[in-house]
Amino acid sequence: MKTVIIEDELLQADHLKSLLMAMEGPPEVSAIVQSVGEAIDYLNRNSVDLIFLDIHLADGLCFEIFEKTDIRVPVIFTTAYDQYAIQAFRHNGIDYLLKPVTENDLRKSLEKYTRFTGYHSGYREMMDTFRSMASGFKPQRNRFISHLGKKLKIVEAVDIAYFYALGGGVFIRTLKNENLLVDQNLETLEKQLDTYDFFRLNRQIIARITAIKEMIPYSKSRIKIILTPPFEEDVIVSYRNVKDFMQWARK
C-alpha cells in the first residue's frame, strides 16, 4: 500500500509516519507534502492508494485540493478541529482522526481501509453512501456576530435562549437576558441552527429547548409557550406545527 501524508506541521507528519512504520506490514509513505499547492502538484503527478490529509494547511483548507485534482482513493483526515467532519465525508473520507493521532486510532483506521477496499466494488459504494448521507446534513452555526451599539460582539450558540423578530429587525435573547441585533432573517438562521436544540415556534421566534419553561394547552388545539428569559408577547405554536413541535420536544 502506497500512501502520502499531507501535513504542514513536520513534527506531526513525522509522528504519523513513525506510527505507520511501527504497524504490521507498514505502508510505504511515498512523500510528506506541506501545502495545498504542493499537494495538487504531487497528486496530479503520482498515484497512491491512501491519503492522510490535514484540514488546515500552510496556504489554506485542504478541500481546495479536491477542486483541482481527481482523487479516487480513500482519505483519512487528521486535524485538530472537529467541525469539518461532514465536509470530510463528502471528500472521500473514510475516517476523521483528531490530533494528536494515537497508535490505537490509526490501527483502527487502517483496518477500516482494509475492510472497505477488500471488496471489488465496496469502496465506490461506500463513498456514494457517505456523500449521500453528507448531503442531507445542514451546516450548523456555533457562533454569531451581533451588533451592540457601535461595537460587534461574538455570541456563542450555547449562550442563546432564542431568536426573535421585532419591528423589522431580528434579535438574539441570551440566557443572561441580553437583546442583541443580528443581520440575518429567521429563515436563514433556521437553516443554520442545530435542529436538535432549536425549533421555529412561529413566524416570530426560534427557541432553544432549554429556554422553554412551560407548555400550556391553548385554544383551537394550539400550545402556548412560556420562555425564559420571558418574552414580552404571547408565544403560540400554531395547530399545524403542534405535531412537529411535540416530536421535537420529545427527542
- Tens-digit pLDDT profile for the chain (251 aa)? 899 999 999 999 999 999 999 988 888 999 999 999 999 999 999 999 999 999 999 888 998 999 899 888 899 999 887 777 777 777 888 889 998 899 999 999 998 888 766 544 445 555 555 555 444 545 567 889 898 777 889 999 889 999 999 988 999 999 999 999 998 899 989 988 888 889 999 999 999 999 999 999 998 889 999 999 999 999 999 888 899 999 898 87
Dihedral sign, Cα of residue 226, residue 227, residue 229, residue 231: negative
The pLDDT value given to residue 138: 52
* Domains and their CATH numbers in the chain: 2-135 (3.40.50.2300), 143-249 (2.40.50.1020)
- Phi and psi dihedrals of 158, rounded to 5? -70, -15
Place of cell 500552510: 58
22: nearest Cα among 110, 99, 96, 116: 110
How confident is the model at residue 120, as a pLDDT?
A: 40
